[in-house]
Amino acid sequence: MLTIPQKLLDEIHRYLEEAYPEEGVGFLFGLEGNETSVKAQHPVPNAWQPEVERVRRYDVAPQDIMEADDKAEEMELSIIGAYHSHPDHPNQPSDTDRERAHPFFIYFITSVENGKAVSTRAWRLLEDRSKFIEEEIEIMETDWFNLGD
């Protein structure tokens, strides 16, 4: 089971709507065990070059990965995954997503249509990298894990 507080999912959606019409990207911080729990999110700039292709691609600069890792560690959490948007496209992994993904990460993909986040699905790449499997997302109405907001 994969859980996320509604508040965090709303934050992710707002960020991805702001990135539209380009792909937005960020990291999911949390805890893994019998249940994977998203406890925080960390948006990062889309570093894909050239800018013209940023509508259909994203990349993360090495310094942004290191910063995210440091921030997660400060919160006593781990980077458990990433999220990105598919502007005006379905929230299913693309071939590019599969080529660049890591089997141990959760990937949230949000379809953003005409600037509005319409739905988010979670995916995990099989260890043999052959395909993604969809993970069920349980949205929590309350966030028992307060990060000092």
Rounded distance, CA 82 to CA 26, Å? 6
Which tokens hold the place of 49? 């070059």
Domain interval for residue 93: 2-140
* Cα Dmax for the chain: 42
Distances (CA, A) of 41 to 46, 96, 126: 15, 23, 23
What is the domain count for the chain? 1
Tell me the per-residue pLDDT of 120-149, one tens digit each, with 9 for 90 and over. Answer: 999 999 999 999 999 999 999 865 554 444
Residue 91 lies in a domain: yes
CATH assignment of the domain containing 19: 3.40.140.10
Distances (CA, A) of 127 to 98, 102, 111: 11, 8, 25
Residue 148 lies in a domain: no
Residue 147 lies in a domain: no
Residue 51's pLDDT is: 59
Residue 132 lies in a domain: yes
Binned at pLDDT 50, 70 and 90, residue 52 comes out as low
**pTM reported for the whole predicted model:** 0.90
Residue 65 lies in a domain: yes
Residue 17 lies in a domain: yes
Of 146 and 22, the one with more pLDDT: 22
Contact 96, 59 (CB under 8 A): no
Q: Specify which residues 26 forms β-bridges with.
A: 43, 83
Residue 74 lies in a domain: yes
As a whole number, the mean pLDDT across the chain is 91
- H helices of the chain, where? 6-19, 62-74, 95-100
Residue 32's pLDDT is: 80
Residue 146 lies in a domain: no
Contacts of 114 (CB under 8 A, 6+ apart): 88
